[in-house]
Amino acid sequence: MAEYLEFDWKTSMISHDVHILSIGDLRKPKVDKARSVEDLRSFIQHGTDEQLKTNMQQDDATLLRFLYARNFNVPDAYLLMQNCYWYRQRNPSLFADLVPSAPDVRKAFENVLPGVLGARDRRGRTVLILYATNWDCSYGLASVYRALLVALELLIADVQNQANGLVVVVDWTEFSLRQTANLKPSMLKLMIEGLQDCFPARFKGVHFIGQPWYVDAALTVIKPFLKDKIKERIYVHGNNLSTLHDYLPKDILPTELGGDLATYNPEVWIKSIQPKMGT
CATH number of the domain to which 37 belongs: 1.10.8
| Cα angle, residue 144 at apex, residues 138 and 241 outer, rounded to 5° | 105
3-class SS at 245?
coil
Question: Residue 262: inside a domain, yes or no?
Answer: yes
Partners of 129 in the β-ladder: 115, 169
Contact 264, 112 (CB under 8 A): yes
Instruction: Find the domain containing 83 and state its range.
Output: 31-90
Burial category of 172 from C-beta neighbours within 10 Å (exposed 0-12, middle 13-18, buried 19 and up): buried
Question: Residue 178: inside a domain, yes or no?
Answer: yes
Residues 191 and 53 both lie in one domain: no
Residues 206 and 237 both lie in one domain: yes
Q: What is the DSSP letter of 9?
A: -
Torsion of CA 151, 156, 158, 161, to 10 degrees: 100
Task: Report the alpha-carbon distance of residue 92 to residue 214 in Å, rounded.
Answer: 32
Total number of domains in the chain = 2
Residues 212 and 180 both lie in one domain: yes
pLDDT of 267 reads 96
Single out the residue in 40, 60, 90 at which a domain terminates. Answer: 90
pLDDT of 277 reads 53
Element (H, E) at 228: helix 228-231
Question: Residue 185: inside a domain, yes or no?
Answer: yes
CATH number of the domain to which 212 belongs: 3.40.525.10
pLDDT of 276 reads 62
Residues 231 and 132 both lie in one domain: yes
- Per-residue burial over 218-253, b if 16 or more Cβ lie within 10 Å, else e, is bbeebeeeeeeebeebbbbbbebbebbbebbebebb
pLDDT of 55 reads 95
Residues with Cβ within 8 Å of 167's Cβ and at least 6 positions away in sequence, in order, are: 121, 125, 126, 127, 128, 203, 204, 205, 206, 207, 247, 248
Residues 64 and 155 both lie in one domain: no
Question: Residue 152: inside a domain, yes or no?
Answer: yes
Q: Is the peptide bond before 224 cis (omega within 30 degrees of 0)?
A: no
Residues 225 and 133 both lie in one domain: yes
Question: Residue 177: inside a domain, yes or no?
Answer: yes
pLDDT of 6 reads 38
Partners of 235 in the β-ladder: 207
Residues 121 and 44 both lie in one domain: no
Single out the residue in 42, 63, 90 at which a domain terminates. Answer: 90
Q: What tens-digit pLDDT sequence spans the chain (279 residues)? A: 333 343 344 433 333 333 333 334 444 568 899 999 999 999 999 999 999 999 999 999 999 999 999 999 999 999 999 999 999 999 999 999 999 999 999 999 999 999 999 999 999 999 999 999 999 999 999 999 999 999 999 999 999 999 999 999 999 999 999 999 999 999 999 999 999 999 999 999 999 999 999 888 888 888 889 999 999 999 999 999 999 999 999 999 999 999 999 999 999 999 998 776 554
Residue 18 backbone zone (phi > 0: left; psi -120 to 50: alpha; other: beta):
alpha
- Taking only the tens place, the pLDDT of each residue in 121-154 is 999 999 999 999 999 999 999 999 999 999 999 9
Residues 106 and 44 both lie in one domain: no
Residues 178 and 230 both lie in one domain: yes
Question: Residue 239: inside a domain, yes or no?
Answer: yes
pLDDT of 31 reads 85
Question: Residue 19: inside a domain, yes or no?
Answer: no
Question: Residue 6: inside a domain, yes or no?
Answer: no
